[in-house]
């Protein structure tokens, strides 16, 4: 309590001095900056004056914080760039002008509160010390209470008692008076609404950047998962089918040879396919037994005994494969993750179908229906081929899907190479200008890629362009990609494609501008901020 009162007193007493210094400085600085504003020195002098003002404000902040018992945070927003930009940024900050306002206000406020504080402190201390000095000022003409108090010994000690009694009141008054300018200082010199908004915006920008980065990483992960998971499994299944098909063919030719010769033809035919069934389809058999609980399985099982049944089984199995492949593709389109699962189960179902077909055919051979052996093997072979082609289609579909999510070449070689590929794929000649080695954040590259892809597609599809240009450059923290074509123009900026692009670009805090007057040319430009 004593400490805080002492601080308040010290604050009040030094107030007029600080006020005078602040006032003088603001006048000098104001004149200097105003006079030199017309010369080359204007900028540097302004920055220097602002620097000094900020130091003074910092002292004031510390003084006021001392009284308030809590430090006052600094309100300044960091600035950078060229001197000219810094002058603008400093002048644009409300904190700069609030500092100046405080330096002006400090003089009257400091003088008034300083005098008031001083008077209170002096009067109370003097009254406590009355026995020590009152005898020196005998005043017989003083009015009633003062005469008794000042001229008699009991009166002087009475003053001391009264002074002591009023000491807490005086201390409270001092603290209260000091709190006034200190609060004003906190309000003027502390972080204002501007600073809070700037901080909030910075926080929001940061969280958005993280979200965007996470999304870009997620897309790449999905692409990788499709590549290493679904696609690889389908290819692997295709390889197994290829081997199966090859062996079926070999078996068929050996069956033909053995049926032509007499003797133990039946046994050899029986043994051949049986071997295929067990040793050549280990993966297939495993997958099929695990996955195929559907009608294809049932029909194949029931159809097993007869020759016709074998063919039926083969068809049912392949039908399952077709269904599976389609399910995989459909799932892929409706959602990337669904696509992975769908693709995989599609591949498995397809393989299972092939296997059932093959096994059904083999079953005929074993049942001893010799004339049916070659026929149903041929049939199974055709079905294996069909399943293989269906897997190929599923792969092609998956590839298209991956390209739509995140083109692999973007990961492999960066934006410039990916744009070169787009330019190359375009049905009309497209020039590409830009730095081939520059790499940008993944989200920026992917957004720029899709802007160009959409631009070129539109130019080819709707504008009838015969020539185009892609320009990729970087201006300070901005990556700018421009697609120009000489088509007939008239693109609708609110069309579905461009609207989707705009959302994508705006999610990165970028802008997309479309200029497409009727008759052309169309200029599609995306500007994407890119800090790093």
Partner 1 sequence: MRIVIAEDLVLLREGMVRLLTETGHDVVAAVGTAAALLDAVDEHRPDLSVIDVRLPPGFRDEGLRAALRIRAADPDAKVLIVSQYVERAYAADLLADGRGGVGYLLKDRVTALDDFLDAVDRVAAGGTAMDPEVVRQLFARSRDHGLDALTAREREVLGLMAQGLSNSAICAALVLAPVSVEKHITNIFAKLDLPPAADAHRRVRAVLTYLNAA
Instruction: Report the relative pairing of strands 468-475 and 478-485 from DSSP bridges.
Output: antiparallel
Q: Is the Cβ of residue 79 or residue 417 nearer to partner 1 in the bound state?
A: 417
Residue selected from 242, 265, 266, 271 as contacting partner 1 according to rule CB under 8 A: 242
Buried b (16+ CB within 10 A) or exposed e, 521-532: bbbbbbbbbbee
Pick from 447, 446, 450, 418: which is nearest to 434 by CA? 418
Binding-site string for partner 1 from residue 60 to residue 89, where x marks contact by CB under 8 A and - marks none: ------------------------------
Nearest distance from C-beta of residue 210 to partner 1, angstroms = 24
Nearest distance from C-beta of residue 294 to partner 1, angstroms = 24
The alpha carbon dihedral of 407, 409, 415, 416 has a sign of negative
Structure tokens at 389: 């082609």
Nearest distance from C-beta of residue 493 to partner 1, angstroms = 28
Q: CA–CA separation, 330 vs 353, rounded Å?
A: 19
Tally DSSP H helices, then E strands, for the chain.
18, 5
Q: Is 462 in the site for partner 1 (CB under 8 A)?
A: no
DSSP characters over 150-187: HHSHHHHHHHHHHHHHHHHHHHHHHHHHHHHHHHHHHH
Q: Is 438 in the site for partner 1 (CB under 8 A)?
A: no
Q: Is 439 in the site for partner 1 (CB under 8 A)?
A: no
Q: Is 92 in the site for partner 1 (CB under 8 A)?
A: no
Q: Is 399 in the site for partner 1 (CB under 8 A)?
A: yes
Q: Is 388 in the site for partner 1 (CB under 8 A)?
A: yes
Q: How distant, in Å, are the alpha carbons of 145, 147, 150 from that of 142? A: 8, 5, 9
Residue 11 · residue 178 · CB < 8 Å: yes
Contacts of 151 (CB under 8 A, 6+ apart): 134, 138, 139, 140, 142
Q: Is 382 in the site for partner 1 (CB under 8 A)?
A: no
Q: Is the Cβ of residue 426 or residue 516 nearer to partner 1 in the bound state?
A: 426
Identify whether 521 is preceded by a cis peptide bond (ω within 30 of 0). yes
| Interface region with partner 1, contact rule CB under 8 A, candidates 30-38, 82-90, 108-116, 391-399 | 391-399
Q: Is 464 in the site for partner 1 (CB under 8 A)?
A: no
Residue selected from 308, 429, 436, 500 as contacting partner 1 according to rule CB under 8 A: 429
Q: Is 344 in the site for partner 1 (CB under 8 A)?
A: no
Q: Is the Cβ of residue 100 or residue 347 nearer to partner 1 in the bound state?
A: 347
* Host H or E run for residue 513: strand 511-515
Residue selected from 408, 493, 497, 529 as contacting partner 1 according to rule CB under 8 A: 408
Nearest distance from C-beta of residue 399 to partner 1, angstroms = 6
Q: Is the Cβ of residue 402 or residue 491 nearer to partner 1 in the bound state?
A: 402
Residue 472 · residue 520 · CB < 8 Å: no
Q: Is 93 in the site for partner 1 (CB under 8 A)?
A: no
Pick from 358, 372, 377, 13: which is nearest to 177 by CA? 13
Contacts of 222 (CB under 8 A, 6+ apart): 336, 337, 340, 405, 406
Q: Is the Cβ of residue 89 or residue 409 nearer to partner 1 in the bound state?
A: 409
Q: What is the separation of C-alpha 72 from the centre of its chain, rounded to a whole number of angstroms?
A: 33
| Interface region with partner 1, contact rule CB under 8 A, candidates 1-9, 94-102, 120-128, 424-432 | 424-432
Q: Is the Cβ of residue 249 or residue 474 nearer to partner 1 in the bound state?
A: 249
Q: Is 355 in the site for partner 1 (CB under 8 A)?
A: no
Q: Is 357 in the site for partner 1 (CB under 8 A)?
A: no
Q: Is 524 in the site for partner 1 (CB under 8 A)?
A: no
Q: Is 156 in the site for partner 1 (CB under 8 A)?
A: no
SS3 188: helix
Q: CA–CA separation, 272 vs 268, rounded Å?
A: 6
DSSP characters over 444-485: HHHHHHHHHHHHHHHIIIII--S-EEEEEEEETTEEEEEEEE
| Interface region with partner 1, contact rule CB under 8 A, candidates 109-117, 230-238, 331-339, 513-521 | 230-238
Q: Is 238 in the site for partner 1 (CB under 8 A)?
A: yes
Structure tokens at 146: 């003062």
Instruction: Report the relative pairing of strands 468-475 and 430-433 from DSSP bridges.
Output: parallel
Q: Is the Cβ of residue 147 or residue 227 nearer to partner 1 in the bound state?
A: 227
SS3 25: helix
Q: What's the full length of the chain, in residues?
A: 532
Structure tokens at 528: 């994407």
Pick from 67, 74, 73, 97: which is nearest to 180 by CA? 67
Q: Is 225 in the site for partner 1 (CB under 8 A)?
A: no
Q: Is 243 in the site for partner 1 (CB under 8 A)?
A: yes
Q: Is the Cβ of residue 148 or residue 253 nearer to partner 1 in the bound state?
A: 253
Q: Is the Cβ of residue 193 or residue 437 nearer to partner 1 in the bound state?
A: 437
Q: Is the Cβ of residue 181 or residue 468 nearer to partner 1 in the bound state?
A: 468
Q: Is 437 in the site for partner 1 (CB under 8 A)?
A: no
Under rule CB under 8 A, how many of the chain's residues touch partner 1? 39
Nearest distance from C-beta of residue 444 to partner 1, angstroms = 18
| Interface region with partner 1, contact rule CB under 8 A, candidates 65-73, 420-428, 481-489, 508-516 | 420-428
Residues engaged in binding partner 1 (CB under 8 A) = 224, 227-228, 231-233, 235-236, 238-243, 245-246, 388, 391-392, 395-396, 399, 402-403, 408-409, 411-413, 417, 420-421, 423-429
């Amino acid at each position: 309590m004593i400490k805080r009162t002492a601080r308040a007193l010290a604050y009040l007493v030094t107030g007029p001095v600080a006020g005078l210094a602040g006032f003088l400085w603001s006048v000098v600085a104001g004149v200097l900056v105003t006079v030199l504003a017309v010369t080359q020195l204007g900028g540097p002098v302004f920055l220097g004056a602002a620097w000094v003002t900020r130091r003074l404000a910092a002292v004031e902040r510390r003084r006021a914080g001392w009284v308030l018992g809590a430090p006052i945070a600094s309100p300044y927003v960091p600035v950078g760039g060229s001197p000219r930009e810094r002058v603008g940024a400093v002048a644009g900050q409300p904190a700069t002008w609030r500092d100046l306002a405080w330096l002006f206000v400090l003089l009257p406020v400091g003088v008034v509160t300083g005098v008031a504080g001083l008077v209170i402190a002096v009067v109370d201390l003097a009254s406590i010390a009355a026995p020590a000095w009152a005898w020196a000022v005998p005043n017989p003409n003083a009015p009633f209470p003062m005469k008794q108090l000042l001229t008699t010994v009991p009166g002087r000690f009475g003053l001391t008692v009264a002074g002591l009694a009023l000491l807490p009141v005086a201390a409270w008054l001092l603290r209260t008076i000091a709190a006034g300018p200190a609060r004003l200082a906190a309000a003027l010199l502390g972080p204002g609404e501007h600073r809070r908004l700037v901080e909030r915006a910075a926080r929001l920008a940061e969280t958005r950047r993280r979200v965007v980065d996470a999304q870009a990483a997620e897309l790449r992960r999905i692409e990788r998962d499709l590549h290493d998971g679904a696609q690889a499994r389908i290819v692997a299944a295709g390889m197994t089918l290829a081997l199966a098909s090859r062996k079926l063919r070999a078996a068929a030719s050996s069956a033909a040879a053995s049926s032509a010769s007499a003797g133990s033809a039946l046994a050899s035919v029986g043994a051949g396919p049986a071997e295929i069934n067990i040793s050549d389809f280990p993966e297939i058999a495993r997958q099929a037994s695990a996955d195929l609980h559907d009608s294809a399985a049932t029909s194949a099982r029931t159809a097993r005994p007869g020759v016709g049944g074998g063919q039926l089984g083969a068809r049912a199995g392949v039908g399952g494969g077709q269904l599976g492949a389609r399910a995989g593709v459909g799932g892929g389109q409706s959602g990337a993750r669904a696509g992975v699962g769908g693709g995989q189960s599609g591949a498995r179902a397809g393989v299972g179908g092939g296997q059932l077909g093959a096994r059904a055919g083999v079953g005929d051979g074993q049942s001893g229906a010799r004339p049916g052996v070659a026929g149903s093997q041929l049939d199974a072979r055709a079905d294996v081929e069909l399943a293989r082609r269906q897997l190929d289609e599923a792969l092609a579909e998956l590839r298209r899907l991956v390209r739509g999510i995140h083109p692999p070449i973007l990961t492999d070689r960066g934006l410039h190479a990916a744009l070169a590929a787009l330019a190359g794929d375009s049905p009309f000649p497209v020039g590409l200008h830009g730095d081939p080695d520059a790499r940008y954040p993944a989200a920026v590259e992917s957004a720029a890629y899709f802007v160009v892809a959409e631009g070129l597609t539109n130019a080819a599809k709707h504008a009838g362009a015969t020539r185009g240009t892609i320009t990729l450059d970087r201006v300070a923290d901005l990556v700018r990609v421009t697609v120009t074509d000489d088509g007939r123009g008239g693109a609708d900026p609110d069309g579905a494609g461009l609207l989707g692009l705009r959302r994508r670009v705006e999610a990165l805090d970028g802008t997309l501008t479309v200029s497409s007057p009727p008759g052309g040319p169309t200029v599609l430009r995306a500007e994407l901020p890119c800090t790093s």
